[in-house]
Amino acid sequence: MNAYLLRRVLQMIPTLFGVVLLVFLLFNWVGGDPAYVLAGKFSNPRDIENIRHQLGVDQPLYVQLGIFLRQVITFDFGNSWATQEPVSHIFLSRLGPSLALMIPMLVLETLLGVVLALAVAHVRDSWIDRTLTLLTTSAMSISLLVYIIVGQYVFAFALGWFPVQGWSSTPQGWVHYAVLPILLGLAVSLAPAIRLYRTFVLDEIHQDYVRTARAKGVPEWRVMLVHVLRNASIPIITNVLASLPALLIGAFLLERFFSIPGIGREVILAVERSDFPVIKAVTVAVAVATMVFNLLADLAYKWVDPRVELS
């Protein structure tokens, strides 16, 4: 077990290096000279030279890579080009609103998705199943933009049930501002979740052990909720864990539409303003989180599936 953990952590190093290399190539090589971006409208050659020196982009590429590696290791990406706010501060202060939005969304999506998927799989091939499949297909085909635009207009603007936008970090403020975004996010993500979990459940329903359970006289509800669900939970848990890193970047569009000061909105702003340090920091941080959660997913896999040997 410890040897496994150690090996997995060591295996992260080349992947992390790859991510750093990819981000570095993207911003320092493909992206061209950031000094022109930063200097903006009032550029004169002296200013640009000055900025180039400050950023270190007048150095050879390998020196720049070294600088970037040091930034990654110390998690100090300097200041935002747009606001001069320290990047680490931006990251930490925007995390809260993103999590306040995403965690309830993920929990509700998983619970509702699993329950509905079990129900649909239970009546598989019936007209209910076919209707629901058609409904989810159509629901998935509508752009999430449309859900948000229409939802915000109808429920906030026209009906006035919810505030149109805004955020507050108090609990009452959360109830006030977060409910509509969460409901809309759920409307978008529930259909694909049901479809995915339905296939997980159906994969199990056709296994031999289900036939054995029926041959034992196990009632149908117990077949579904004990025998099938326990096995289907293996891919479901893996899938949920794999979506956890997404918590860190929040919901880009929801945060943008509802002016929620989360990381997703910050990323969009940064892209609009060519605020490279912010994008770099978020990318590397999320990559690290993804790798950690992948490891957690494997450990969880071992926990729910006795067949898996960690070696």
Within positions 2 to 21, which residues make up the interface with other proteins, using CB under 8 A? 3, 6-7, 10, 14-16, 18-19, 21
Closer CB to other proteins, 75 or 157, in the complex: 157
Q: Binders of other proteins among 152-181, rule CB under 8 A?
A: 152-153, 157
Residue 290: CB minimum distance to other proteins, A: 5
Residue 66: CB minimum distance to other proteins, A: 20
What contacts 87, CB < 8 A, 6 or more positions away? 76, 77, 78, 79, 80, 277, 278, 281
The rounded distance, in Å, linking the Cα atoms of 297 and 303 is 10
Query: Which of residues 9, 13, 32, 75 is near other proteins by CB under 8 A?
Result: 32
Residue 93 · residue 266 · CB < 8 Å: no
Residue 34: CB minimum distance to other proteins, A: 9
**SS3 state at 58:** coil
Binding range to other proteins, per CB under 8 A, among 62-70, 74-82, 93-101, 140-148:
140-148
The rounded distance, in Å, linking the Cα atoms of 23 and 10 is 21
Position 73 contacts other proteins (CB under 8 A) = no
Taking the CA atoms of 106, 94, 64 and 74 in sequence, report the sign of the dihedral they define. Answer: negative
Q: Binders of other proteins among 248-267, rule CB under 8 A?
A: 249, 252-253, 256-257, 267
- Strand partners for 86: 79
Residue 170: CB minimum distance to other proteins, A: 28
Residue 172: CB minimum distance to other proteins, A: 27
For residue 267 the two structure tokens come to: 């990323």
Residue 180 · residue 258 · CB < 8 Å: yes
Position 297 contacts other proteins (CB under 8 A) = no
Residue 10: CB minimum distance to other proteins, A: 8
Position 307 contacts other proteins (CB under 8 A) = yes
What contacts 132, CB < 8 A, 6 or more positions away? 120, 194
The rounded distance, in Å, linking the Cα atoms of 275 and 257 is 20
Closer CB to other proteins, 22 or 92, in the complex: 22
Residue 81: CB minimum distance to other proteins, A: 12
Query: Which of residues 48, 140, 179, 297 is near other proteins by CB under 8 A?
Result: 140
In the chain, which ranges are E strands? none
For residue 119 the two structure tokens come to: 């129900």
Position 299 contacts other proteins (CB under 8 A) = no
Closer CB to other proteins, 54 or 137, in the complex: 137
Between the alpha carbon of residue 133 and those of residues 110, 136, 199, 225, the distances in Å are: 18, 5, 11, 21
Residue 185 · residue 151 · CB < 8 Å: no
Total site size for other proteins, rule CB under 8 A: 74
Position 143 contacts other proteins (CB under 8 A) = yes
Q: Binders of other proteins among 100-129, rule CB under 8 A?
A: 125
